[in-house]
Amino acid sequence: MLLSRTLRFYKREDVRERLKQHASDREVAIRYQEYFGKRPDTIEYADDVLEFAKDGAVSFHCSEERWANPTSLRTGISHDEMQDLRTGWDLLLDIDCDHYPYSRLAAHHLVKIIQDHGVSAVTAKFSGNSGFHIGVPYEAFPERIPRGRMNTLFPEAPRRISAYLASRLYPRLSDIIVGEEDGDLQVIADKTDVEPSRLTDNEGDLRITTFLEIDTVAIAPRHLYRMPFSFHEKSGLISQPVPPEEILGFDRLDAKPGKVDLSVPFLDRDVEEGDAETLIVQAYDHEPRREEETDRSDEEFDPPAEAVDRQYFPPTIQNILSGLSDGRKRAAFTLCNFLKSVGWSYDQIEHELYEWNERNNPSLRDVYIESQLKQAKKQKEVIPPHNYPHAGTTYYEDLGVYEPDNLSKKVKNPVQYARLKSGEGSEE
């Protein structure tokens, strides 16, 4: 890449300022034409960017982790030393796919899945070549969860979240891609350069991981990603943040240096703490090895013909409905799923959720309740709430609402309880 081209772009004061802002509290590495500069490095001032560019810098990369003093990092640093230095971390999901239209589809639906968990702080950026980065800032997570303080849960927590989201994304994306290509596997094979025989599993379903994945290798101590508004040395394009609602319409050529939109945020830190609480709790409750225990069947969880009356709700759900002081966001998510699963209409759920919120101390902001209701209305799939503890989750115990009785000990899920109690279901 021509030095004159990169220098012209990095001379822009607004570009340098955005790079400096994003580098705050992060380790930085500078890529020159064929090699990276020394590590660790930092960008303390906007003019540092220009000096690096004059020396031949092509792109700028930074850590997912936040550090008290990035320059104290070194090769061979111990785990305990890193724990002492780490002040936080951002969730950074790297969609790895060589076929850009499929990457774009994946980014769009991954953002939607994250938003379905009540997360409003999710942002996205084009990687600069063929992929996307999806991010949730550290400030959106609670300060701690039962597993421990959030700043100590790296890389465990983001890997958990990544695995959980992948389990939701891959089946959905497989169906969408097969539908878009009219079921023609040869078309998919030609676009992804994968042998048709490798594209399907034993049941004939599309094996999407043969050509597209959320890259978990990228979630590791001191791993770096391309900073927003940095060049990509292969494509000559810019790693451009993209408004989540505009991902499907984003063309790679929109990331030419002359078309860059510096107003679009990526990993904006000015967000509400706890915005992503439901997401991380769901991720920790998701245990792939327990799939057989936690799967739901159509017979058990299809909504009943008539809404189950509140008098038949299990004690655990009744405890939530009486109002909470902690875990209110998780509880809102749970109530939406439970009420939908027992046949309540959207209007009934809306009325109940607002009344429940008045019993909370303190109440959640109305805007949060509105966002939960909006997601519940958009979501076509009926998702049951968490199972009881004996079926593989401590969710209700963590909320402090678990109250077992004889019937709850015989079923896996509060929905089954309500169905049986009301006479809608049959005990196996």
Which tens digits make up the pLDDT trace of 95-117? 999 999 999 999 999 999 999 99
Task: Give the pLDDT score at 302.
Answer: 67
Helix axes 156-180, 100-115, angle to 10 degrees: 120
Q: Tell how strand 28-31 and strand 59-63 pair up.
A: antiparallel
CA separation for the pair 389, 241 (Å, rounded): 41
Question: What separation in angstroms does the CA of 352 have from each of 344, 364, 383?
Answer: 10, 14, 18
CA dihedral 237, 238, 242, 247 (to 10 degrees): 20
CB 408 within 8 A of CB 427: no
Per-residue pLDDT band at 391 (split at 50, 70, 90): low
Whether residue 387 is predicted with pLDDT greater than 60 in this model: the reply is yes
Q: What is the mean pLDDT of residues 24-40?
A: 94
Report long-range pairs for 73-76 (Cβ below 8 Å, ≥24 apart): 73/27, 73/39, 73/40, 73/222, 74/40
Cα angle: 10, vertex 15, 20; to 5 degrees: 100
Of residues 338, 302, 303, the one with CA closest to residue 319? 338
Are 103 and 169 in contact, with CB atoms under 8 Å apart?
A: no
Helices (DSSP H) in 342-387: which residue ranges? 346-359, 366-378
Strand locations in 217-355 (E): 224-226, 241-242
Q: Is the peptide bond before 155 cis (omega within 30 degrees of 0)?
A: yes
Q: Are 212 and 93 in contact (CB under 8 A)?
A: no
| pLDDT tens column, 42-64 | 999 999 999 999 999 999 999 99
For 233, other C-beta atoms within 10 Å of its C-beta total: 17
Q: Calculate mean pLDDT across residues 184-210.
A: 90
pLDDT, residue 397, reads: 85
Segment 128-147 mean pLDDT = 94
Residues 6+ apart with CB under 8 A from 350: 373
Residue 398's pLDDT band (boundaries 50, 70, 90)?
A: confident
Amino acid at 94: D
Give the C-alpha separation, 126 to 250, whole Å. Answer: 9
Q: DSSP label at 276?
A: T
Q: Which residues pair with 63 in a beta bridge?
A: 224
User: Bridge partners of 145?
Assistant: 148
Would you say residue 427 has pLDDT above 70?
Answer: no
As a whole number, mean pLDDT of residues 29-40 equals 92
The phi and psi torsions of 326 (rounded to 5 degrees) equal -125, 155
CA atoms within 13 A on the CB side of 257: 19
User: Which candidate, 239, 298, 295, places its Cα nearest to that of 22?
Assistant: 239
Q: Give the percent of the chain with pLDDT over 70.
A: 94
Peptide bond into 40 cis (omega under 30): yes
The residue with tokens 């990509």 is 232
